[in-house]
Each structure stands twice: as C-alpha cells, then as structure tokens.
Amino acid sequence: MSTPVLPPLRDMLASLIAINSISSASPQLDQSNQPVIHQLATWFELLGFKVDLMPVHTAHSKKLNLIARYGEGHGGLVLAGHTDTVPCDEHLWQSNPFQLTERDNAYFGLGICDMKGFFPLILEAVKPLLSQKFQCPLIVVATADEETSMDGARALVEAQQKLGRFALIGEPTNMKPINMHKGIMMERVVIHGSSGHSSDPSLGNNALDAMYYVLGDLIQFRQQLAKQFNNPLFTVPSPTMNLGCIHGGDNPNRICGSCELAFDLRPLPGMSTENLRESIQKRLALIAEQHSIDIEFNPLFPSVEAFETPAQSPFVQFCQQLTQHEAESVAFATEAPFLNALGMDTVVLGPGDIAKAHQPDECLPLSRINPFIKILQRLIHHYCITSPNVQTT
C-alpha cells in the first residue's frame, strides 16, 4: 500500500474554499466549522502532526478548534488562524465564492485571504522541513467563530491551553508585521422611565430627557479619554467612542417611557475594557440618581481587549527582519490579545490584503504565495529546528 500524500497546494485551497464555514449571529446563515477542521486534521496527521480537537460551544451549532503539534518539548512556534468566514453576497461575485477560481494572477474564493487559505500554505511550507530534527514544537491552531464572537479563541484562554512561546496569526496584512490594534467594546444603555400624558410632566418620567444627560456625559467622557490616552502609532491616535443608534418613545403627545442607546468604544493598548466599563457604570449611576430613573448598562457582546506585543520583542524584531517592514498597527481586531493572554508574543502577519476581505471577489495574488511560504519556512527553521536555547530567548 502506498503512503497517502498531501494533495497539491491548489487542490487543498480549493477543498477548503468549497466548504461553507460562514459564522454568523443569524442562525439561518451560521454553519459549523467541523468539516474544515476535519479536513485540516486529515492533512496535518498525514504529515505526522498529533491533532487534538477542542469542542467550542456556540449559540447555534457545535464547533471545534484544532491544535496540531509536530515535535516535542517546551516553547515553540504557534501558527494560528480562524476557520470561519463572514457571509457573502453571492450575486455580487464575478465567480462562485465557494469555488476556487484563478484569474488576473490571483486566486478568488470566500476565505482565501481571510483566512482559511493560510492553512494550506503552512502545510506546503512545513512539508519539505520534516526531514530535519525539530528541537522545539511547531503548533498549528485553527479556531472557530473569529468573525462573530471569538468564542474559539476565548475557549483556548478559558482552558489555559498550553501552546507555544511565539505566535503568528496569518490574517491579511499585506505581508507586513502587525504588533498592535485597538480593542472593541459594544455597549447598550437602556433608560427606563414611565409614560404618561404629555400635557402634565408629573404623570410620567421622561426617558428621553434623561438620555439627553447620558449622551452629554458620554461625549464628555470621550473627550476626557482622548486627552488622557494617545498613541501616535495608530492612524486614529486616540481611543474612539461612536454613538451608533438610539431608539425611544412613540408619539409626541406621550411622555417617553424608555429609550435605548448603543455605542462602540475602541480602547488603545494599555486601557482595560473592565476599567472602562466600571467608569461608565459609575457615571450612569450618578445620572440615574439625579433624575430618579432606572439606567441599565450592559455589553452587546463580550469585549475584545486591545493588543500589543512590544516592538522590542525578539519575535517582532525577527518578523521585521524577515519582511523588511517595521511593525505597524491596524484598525481591525484579531485573536491576538487572546494568544498574548496565554503568554505568547504574538504578531499578525499574512499574505492577503484586508481591503479585499469581507467583500465580493475576495482574492489572494499568486505573487504572494511563494514569498509567504518562504517567510513561514524561515520562522519554522528559526524557532523549531535550530537550537532553541539561542533562538527563543
């Protein structure tokens, strides 16, 4: 019997693109990522990796994280990515989003750069290196639900999963190393007053009136944060707060009984989402007391912390050297803060372009594939194959 061999790179990319692994808050669109995980497990096992699957319990279906290890020992290099994609507007695509298509010197398909396409590149990179002795392990992590709740990454942190010492996430960054991004909080304020006839204000307690003070206070808090925190390495150097939508009341001649506001807040590295929430809670409590009204304050989804791996980290330095680019910040959030929370120096670095992600005709230029595979090989060589004592400090 002949030993099964890994399919060619293009076929692996095509197989993953053909599997719908959309994650969505809407149950009609949400798909389990299990078929992608099982496909990856088969390929990594073919190369001799030891594969563990971790169940991730999400709102609509059972999903999985995959942890594939090659080599023994402590430390090591983690290559991480998510297996889900965002939904797509199929009618706006020039080709079928679930069929790998090559045109204009690029591969097209949903998830090709953001970011199922990362895993076949890892397989292709590591395959010729396996004849050498690994001093430190190479660990591949494939997560569930990054595009929605980040529940896959949260599950890794909850389990305090022992992974490696350094981690690279292959999100689309145009081959530039990224060592920081802002966090994301999405919050909801609901003011409960009481309705009544508009002709006599004493017949109710107007929630819209109280919202006027809440809005003023949040805007003041925003200005305060912008004065207090500033990082010139970000395109928008201050933390931001966007008052996104507001709903309240029904008729001009009724006292508004309840009013709801949703806003997002994007903290800089060094700001904790928990502290921010506490400060806002205190400010709202004061307004509630002054206006004898109930104010409810809660997150719309669990927040993502800001992320920073210090520029002096040897891993950031090595990624800079490999790519000939200074590490930068990006405007989008990733799973990096969760990997950092597990004690790893994390860098986000991938071959795609974020401007091509989350929209019709997502693509990966063919010219990026070999240079990126070379980067992965140099990382694996440096952190897993050569002497760990010298290289991983």
- Of 23-31, 110-118, 148-156, 197-205, the segment contacting Zn ion by CB under 5 A is 110-118
| Known active-site residue 274 | no
Catalytic residue chosen out of the listed positions 30, 84, 151, 345? 84
Catalytic residue chosen out of the listed positions 124, 145, 146, 353? 146
| # binding residues, Zn ion (CB under 5 A) | 3
Each residue 189-218 as x (binds Zn ion by CB under 5 A) or -, in order, gives ------------------------------
Question: Who contacts 372 (Cβ-Cβ below 8 Å, separation ≥6)?
Answer: 121, 175, 350, 351
Between CA 295 and CA 191 the distance in angstroms is: 5
- Of 47-55, 102-110, 113-121, 241-249, the segment contacting Zn ion by CB under 5 A is 113-121
Looking at the DSSP bridge assignments, the partners of residue 222 are: none
- Residue 124 vs 362, nearer CB to Zn ion: 362
Token pair belonging to 271: 């700001």
CB of 352 to Zn ion, least distance (A): 9
Phi-psi region of 175 (alpha: psi -120 to 50; beta: other; left: phi over 0): left
- Residue 114 vs 187, nearer CB to Zn ion: 114
Question: Who contacts 385 (Cβ-Cβ below 8 Å, separation ≥6)?
Answer: 129, 132, 133, 134, 135
Identify which of 304, 335, 344 has the alpha carbon closest to the alpha carbon of residue 139: 344
Strand order in the sheet with 101-103: 101-103, 106-108, 363-365
| Known active-site residue 147 | no
Contact 167, 345 (CB under 8 A): yes
- Residue of 30, 84, 114, 145 interacting with Zn ion (CB under 5 A): 114
Residue nearest to Zn ion (CB): 114
Q: Using alpha carbons only, what angle is made at residue 335 by residues 305 and 56, rounded to the nearest 5 degrees?
A: 110
Between CA 37 and CA 64 the distance in angstroms is: 7
Looking at the DSSP bridge assignments, the partners of residue 139 are: 69, 78
- Residue 86 vs 259, nearer CB to Zn ion: 86
Between CA 317 and CA 325 the distance in angstroms is: 10
CB of 119 to Zn ion, least distance (A): 13
- Residue 111 vs 257, nearer CB to Zn ion: 111
- Residue 356 vs 382, nearer CB to Zn ion: 356
CB of 82 to Zn ion, least distance (A): 6
CB of 367 to Zn ion, least distance (A): 21
Site for Zn ion in 130-189 (CB under 5 A): 171
Question: Who contacts 309 (Cβ-Cβ below 8 Å, separation ≥6)?
Answer: 179, 180, 315, 316, 336, 340, 345, 346, 347
How big is the chain by its Cα radius of gyration, in Å? 24
Between CA 142 and CA 131 the distance in angstroms is: 24
- Residue 116 vs 291, nearer CB to Zn ion: 116
CB of 114 to Zn ion, least distance (A): 4
CB of 338 to Zn ion, least distance (A): 14
Site for Zn ion, rule CB under 5 A: 114-115, 171
Residues with catalytic function: 84, 146
